[in-house]
Amino acid sequence: MFIDEARIRIKAGDGGNGCMAFRREKFVPRGGPSGGDGGHGGDILMSSSLSHNTLVHFRFNPEHKAQRGGHGLGSNCSGYAGEHTTLKVPVGTLLYDDETGELIHDFAHPDETIVIAKGGRGGRGNQHFATSTHQAPREHELGRAGEERNYRLELKLLADAGLVGYPNVGKSTLISRLSAARPKIADYAFTTLEPNLGVVSVGDWPHEQSYTVADLPGLIEGAHLGAGLGIQFLRHIERTSVIVHLVDVSDSSNRANPVDDYKVITEELHSFDPTLAAKPTILVAAKADVANPDKLKKLAAMAKRRKLPFFAISAVTGEGVEPLKFAIAEMVAAHRTVEPELEAPVAAKLKPSYPPPPSSARRRG
């Protein structure tokens, strides 16, 4: 199940209460207040992981809490610190504040970790309130509440090249030819209901190169208004460096002009995000083994006018697939996006505020 959006509610651990106690031991001359401090509540952290590829684990488990801190004890013993909770998300996840819509962090790299809710500080015991004139204090502090937050998670696949085009144009067959991905392939529209991701290798060792390619569910005219599957999956090609645009040039297509097909899909991309339509594009005439010569000629002429790299392929027979594979690799290498070093995020960075004690559940003050 591919889930690319989720909402979560989180609650960091509350701090433990400070203790009010007095030391009254026989033969001990120095008695007095001995209430220990409460332990700090656990933080909630979020970390990007390569072992996750969807947000499905949040869809059915949207609430997460960290452990609260232990209460202070007598003999100046502090309560234990609450354990932190770490939530794993796929690389490419965007974290938004659900109430304000503010982008908190973009997990663009593996093993990024931020604190998304800080645990409450533990309260002070009455030992801290003793003075020379107030030697038997009965004051102590309650622990502070941990932070509560509502977040929205949005996943954008990290792919170098994205396959776009009308439904049933041959995108799934092509990605199965280019990579080891095995998407569902059938002779009806909207076979692909979720994005597929494949890794493509070109060349021989030690000069082997690889890139990732995403097969996006088919677009149709009016997708930006919600027609068909709408544009719910177009976010997954926002990070791509190259777009591979497939157009059906066979007689099986019920659309007479392949140039219009290209223009319609390009307009849908532009309606979603103008930068998508401006990305480097390779135009592919699909189903060349059963191509209509007039359609193929029109599409090739349009590609020449627009100075677009053009390939005629048949993903079924393999015709033209190898040259296309190397052309995509070359264009990806020339336009691959280099992610800048991320600055410190809005959320508190990157170490737990109150690490739990290394061995014992309690530590002496």
Between 37 and 199, the higher pLDDT residue: 37
How far is 43 from 356, CA to CA, in rounded Å? Answer: 10
- pLDDT average, residue stretch 166-173: 83
Residue 281, pLDDT score: 92
DSSP 8-state class, residue 97? E
Q: Report how far residue 79's alpha carbon sits from residue 71's, in angstroms, rounded to the nearest whole number.
A: 5
pLDDT of residue 187: 47
What is the set of domains in the chain, with CATH numbers?
Answer: 5-156+343-364 (2.70.210.12), 161-335 (3.40.50.300)
Distance CA 218, CA 214 (A): 12
135: its two tokens: 């030697």
- Confidence band for 232, pLDDT divided at 50, 70 and 90: low
Contact 96, 152 (CB under 8 A): yes
pLDDT in tens, 13-65: 999 999 999 988 888 777 789 999 999 999 999 999 988 878 888 988 999 99
Residue 25: the pLDDT is 80
b/e map of 39-54 (b: 16 or more CB within 10 Å)?
A: bbbbbbbbbbbeebeb
The pLDDT score that the predictor gives to residue 218 is 63
Reported as a single tens digit per residue, the pLDDT across 203-227 is 776 667 888 888 877 676 655 555 5
Band the pLDDT of 344: cuts 50, 70, 90.
very low
pLDDT at 275: 87
Between the alpha carbon of residue 324 and those of residues 197, 214, 297, 358, the distances in Å are 17, 15, 19, 56
Q: pLDDT tens across 264-318, in order?
A: 888 888 888 888 888 899 999 998 888 889 999 999 999 999 999 999 999 888 8
- Residue 317 token pair: 């027979």
Residue for token digits 């002070």? 124
| Cα–Cα distance measured from residue 130 to residue 42, given in angstroms and rounded to the nearest whole number | 29
Long-range contacts of 302-309 (CB under 8 A, 24+ apart): 302/259, 302/262, 308/281, 308/282, 308/283, 309/281, 309/282, 309/283
pLDDT, tens digit (0-9, with 9 covering 90-100), for 246-263: 999 988 776 778 898 899
* C-alpha dihedral, 262 to 265 to 271 to 274, nearest 10°: -60
**Cα–Cα–Cα angle for 7, 8, 10, nearest 5°?**
160
